[in-house]
Structure 1
Amino acid sequence: MSAASFRRPTVIALVGPTAVGKTVLSLEIAEALRAEIVSVDSRQVYQGMDIGTAKPTAAERARVRHHLLDVVAPDAEYSVALYRRQAHTIIARLRESGKPPLLVGGTGLYFRAVCDGLVLPPVPPQPELRAEWEARVAAGDLAGLVAELRRLDPVGADRVDLANPRRVIRALEVTKVSGRPFSSWQQRESPPFQTLWLGLTRPRAELYERINARVVGQIEAGFVDEVRGLVERGYDYDLPAMQAIGYREIGWYLQGRVSLDDAIASQQQATRRYARRQLTWFRPDERIRWLPASTARTREFLDAVRERQ
């Protein structure tokens, strides 16, 4: 398929849970279409956080150009609204150059913001509220904040990454300040392009085996040293970025709170739960054409692209 066939304003989105196999397939699709990849991952924007976020390797990035990786330092403020602006700028530039944008990742809220024109609530950060809630998280009461969010906005609680204190705090912040549940903010602005949605899936047992194996592989690849190095460079364990799955658990180990084996088991469990939340987010979307990762080939995805053009 030639890039010329993508002169219409179309963006391709490849979605799916973590560890399903999106990276390998996305490289093959991008090469076939002469596309460039736009990462849709809320953790891969952070510099120096490579192994634990399963960021594409240098070799993979040499094969296909990637965007929105290594955007900010781990202690920098980064928001969905900022991601949306940056992604739209990149997509427009790619379209102008005749290159198909291929959006790849598993952060559902980022996809909604970029492809569905989701407008984020006009609630600025509330330093005093955040300080209060962050103190509770530091004291080990994230569960209490989650319970409060479930009480105030049960629908929103099902959509938010409840293992991510930053996401929980933001949902509470919007709900408290606006007087409306976080989930009720459904304002949309039509983006200047249409999206072709493709999804990659695997049987749950197979997916969980891959997740467990990935975590072990990350440890073998030096993940503990990566986390230790971030801390030595001054990035505190309590930073929102350092509370991401994996970094949080290895942080516990480095602080002497758990054994390495327990940290690994906790990371595996948290990642499996995250995969379930991703599927809960994407599955109801009837626009997504799902193909099985175990048997699907690049040609099937290219055929799906042709059918939707």
Structure 2
Amino acid sequence: MTTTIDREAGRDTRPPLLALVGPTAVGKTDLSLRIARAFNCEIISGDSMQVYRGMDIGTAKLAPELRRGIPHHLLDILDPAEPFSVADFKARCEEAIRDIYARGKLPFIVGGTGLYVESVCYGYAFSEEGGNLALREKLKRWAEEHGAEALHERLSGVDPETAARLHPNDVRRVVRALEVYETAGVPFSQLQSQRRGDEKTSPYKLCLIGLTMDRAELYRRINLRVDQMLEQGLVDEVSRLLEAGVRRDAVAMQGLGYKEIAAYLAGETDLDTAVELLKRDTRRFAKRQLSWFRRMKDLTWVHADAREKDGNLFEEICAIIAGKFRCDLEYTCQ
């Protein structure tokens, strides 16, 4: 796969990469299947939790029989007890992209984990060491035991630039910076530098499309999705994972839906409270997703609910992709 630009010919010869991102419950999955069929794509999951086997309901994983014969990558590749970091995702995703492209298909990342998607799109450099996404609670407990100053000193040892701009009493942000360091394998300050403006370049010819919608409608969909997950057996799914020996502090069990239901199953709360917490936390997560994606410079936004009403959502997105990759809409991209 060539990743250079043919400047003499004035032509961008980097391999194409398509991505569809947006908050949870915005409608990415159904739309992605139509896009994949139209543009000869294979889909790569850009979701940090769908990599785990046996975690289907809580991650809204599309069942194999509903994938319409379209190959999907990075689904069900790990046991729930195994850790998984952004560095792991980037390595596996790049391998999938090379494989898809070598077979004449268009690689298509679909998901809502912003750091994961962006790390691939802009070729972030990570160390070999992956981190543990469950560190946040452990770091909070460590701060309670040893004090905020000690936690800040810990950050100073690995990321002095970030530590210099954070007050020791700002425990939440200090914890977050340490979590990013342990997870991504690079200091938070370096990651921020990579994400700023024109400093970001890509080894791919990107077409990045973001779905958004009216906040009230998105929150309605989130609440409905949680209710549907419960009807589909979310409680039983979490119970099976725990019975199989997956620890509550495992990376997989920190995902939305799993930690709340695990607390209910442990008798720490009642089911109604757990469900309300899950809905609230998912709404907050969607807000953070939108904030992350709005900082991506190459993203083209499409207002999903407005286009759904007039029936032009799919056609508008096809036109964006065709324009970016110079495809004839009557044919699939090759």
TM class by shorter-chain length? 0.7 to 0.9
> Which residue in 1 is equivalent to 2:237?
226
What's the TM-score once normalised by structure 2's chain length? 0.76
Aligned length: 287
Equivalences for residues 93-242 of structure 1 within 5 A: 93-120=99-126, 122=127, 124=129, 134=138, 136-137=140-141, 152=163, 169-171=178-180, 173=182, 181=189, 183-184=191-192, 186=194, 192-242=203-253
- Equivalent position of 2:328 in the other structure: none
CA distance in 2, matches of 1:299, 1:45: 31
The Cα offsets for residues 187-235 of structure 1, whole Å up to 9 and x where unpaired, read as 9896542211111111001000000010010000000000000011110
Shift of 1:61: 2.6
**Structure 2 partner of 1:300:** 316
Equivalent-residue separation in structure 2 for 1:44 and 1:265 (angstroms):
23
Q: How does 1:23-102 map to 2 (within 5 A)?
A: 23-102=29-108
Q: Is the 8 A contact 2:33 2:68 kept in 1?
A: no
Offset at residue 132 of structure 1 (A) = 11
More displaced 10-residue stretch of structure 1: 292-301 or 188-197 = 188-197
* Alpha-carbon distance between aligned partners in 2 of 1:191 and 1:28, rounded to the nearest angstrom: 26
Write out the 4+ residue segments of structure 1 that deviate beyond 6 Å after TM superposition. 130-133, 138-141, 177-180
DSSP-derived class of the 1:25 partner: helix
- Residues in 1 aligned to 2:251 and 2:177: alpha-carbon distance in whole angstroms: 11
User: Which digits, 9 at most, give the CA deviation of each residue in 1:125-174, with x for residues without a partner?
Assistant: 799xx989627559999xx89x978x94889xxxxxx8xx9x76522658
**Over alpha carbons, which structure has the higher Rg?**
2
Match of 1:271? 282
Distance (whole Å) between structure 1 residues aligned to residue 203 and residue 136 of structure 2: 40
What is the deviation of 1:178?
Answer: 7.8
Q: Distance in 1 between matches of 2:142 and 2:262?
A: 13
RMSD: 3.5
Distance 1:131 1:224, change over 3 A: closer
In the aligned structure 2, how far is the partner of 1:249 from the partner of 1:15? 25
Q: Deviations over 1:6-58 (max 9, x none)?
A: x9710111010111000010011111112110000101111111100111122
Q: 1:135 to 1:201 in 2, by over 3 A?
A: closer
Gaps in structure 1 of 5+ consecutive residues: 1-6, 156-161
Question: Are residues 70 and 169 of structure 1, via their aligned partners in 2, closer, same or farther at CA, if it must alter by over 3 Å?
Answer: farther
**Equivalent residue for 1:3?**
none
Task: Report deviation, 1:93.
Answer: 1.1
Whole-Å separation in 2 of the counterparts to 1:131 and 1:211: 26
Identity, % of aligned positions: 40
- Secondary structure (helix, strand or coil) at the match of 2:320 reads helix
Within 2, Cα distance between the matches of 1:306 and 1:245? Answer: 35
- Counterpart residue number, 1:280: 291
